[in-house]
Amino acid sequence: MNVHWAIPTGCVAVGIALWFVQRRKLKFRTLGTTDDFRRFKAKVREMAKADGWVEMDREGDHERFIQFVYHARRPVFSTLDMVTLVFDEGTVLYNVINHPNANRSGLAALFSRCRRGRRLITKIRERLEGGNERRGKRQ
């Protein structure tokens, strides 16, 4: 029985699966809508700073986006979550990923849960909606 094709086929299958996982993580999701992005950015900056997030200085169009990085107090266990918020014609889009310059292997970064980033997005969503109506319905 000739099994020389099994290893390359398995590698291709794993590569395709990882590509789909990465594509899903990099996709921007809709956070909500707002008319005044400058006021929204000020509130988000205040909220992020209170939770220990650091705003990234980036070149380019700062009127359309804002990025934050969370630096853990223990650098060995740091995931360096990165949150990107984009303002596009009244709609706020977000993305939570592991920072590309973090000292982690590619697979560890790919399967990172980015818990702190998701918590920040939840707080921003609650502030944007004016309260968490979903949580009120559950109780």
CATH number at residue 106: 3.30.310
**Model pTM score:** 0.71
Residue 139: its pLDDT value, please? 32
Amino acid at 1: M
Domain span at residue 102?
Answer: 28-138
Locate tokens 């980033």: which residue?
A: 117
User: pLDDT tens digits, residue range 78-96?
Assistant: 567 888 888 888 888 898 8
Measured from the Cβ of residue 75, the count of other Cβ atoms closer than 10 Å reads 9
Using CB atoms within 10 Å of the CB of residue 17, give its burial: 0 to 12 exposed, 13 to 18 middle, 19+ buried: exposed
How far apart, in whole angstroms, are the C-alpha atoms of residue 18 and residue 133?
A: 36
Residue 23: its pLDDT value, please? 81
Residue 117 within a domain: yes
Residue 19 within a domain: no
Locate tokens 């008319």: which residue?
A: 35
Judge contact between 61 and 46, C-beta under 8 A. Answer: no
